[in-house]
Structures are given as structure tokens and as C-alpha cells.
Amino acid sequence: MKKATLRTRKGLIEVELSIENNRMSTLVITGDFFIYPEEALEIIEQELLGITIDKEQLKNKIEGIYKQQQISTPGITIDDWVTVILKAINL
């Protein structure tokens, strides 16, 4: 498992993930931040499984999840999510 932590303006994001064939095979997100609706964190984890590790693909996928699920993360941006995931895999 690869791990990374990112301190944002309003919290701390921690990710643990595994990569197989350049695709995310496991993803666990924890930290000290607010996310609405509460089940959105599980949705993000599930929706990102299988995605090819590419900055633009990650950003587009997370943007789509935010819109579809009407997710709010005060003080945490979509770029923060992308940054911490890429940090975990050393890209």
C-alpha cells in the first residue's frame, strides 16, 4: 500500500492506495475534514477504483463525482484530492 498525507486550508487528507497495471485497485481515504453528504467519501473511494493513474483523468473523474453527488468539502478542492493521490504514487 502506498500512503500520502496532505494538509489543506481546512483539514488533513490521508490516502492509502494500491496500483495494479497502472490502475487504482484499492483506495482508503481518511483524515480530519468535513465532507457532505457523509456517504460521499465511500462514493469517491468506490468510483475511483479501476481508474487509470493520470492527472487529468483523476481530476475529471473527481469533478464528475462532485457534480453527480452534489459533494461539498469546505476548504478542500478537487486539486487537493488529485495532489494527495499523485503524491501517494510518487507522480
CA–CA gap between residue 30 and residue 16 (Å, rounded): 9
Q: Which pLDDT tens digit goes with each residue over 42-88?
A: 999 999 999 999 999 999 999 999 999 999 999 999 999 999 999 99
Please name the helix (run of DSSP H) or strand (run of DSSP E) that holds residue 59, with its range, or none.
helix 55-69
| CATH number of the domain that residue 10 is part of | 3.30.390.50
**In angstroms, how far apart are the furthest CA atoms of the chain?**
34
Q: Which pLDDT tens digit goes with each residue over 9-53?
A: 999 999 999 999 999 999 999 999 999 999 999 999 999 999 999
In the chain, how many domains are there?
1
CA–CA gap between residue 70 and residue 88 (Å, rounded): 26
Range of the domain at 38: 2-88
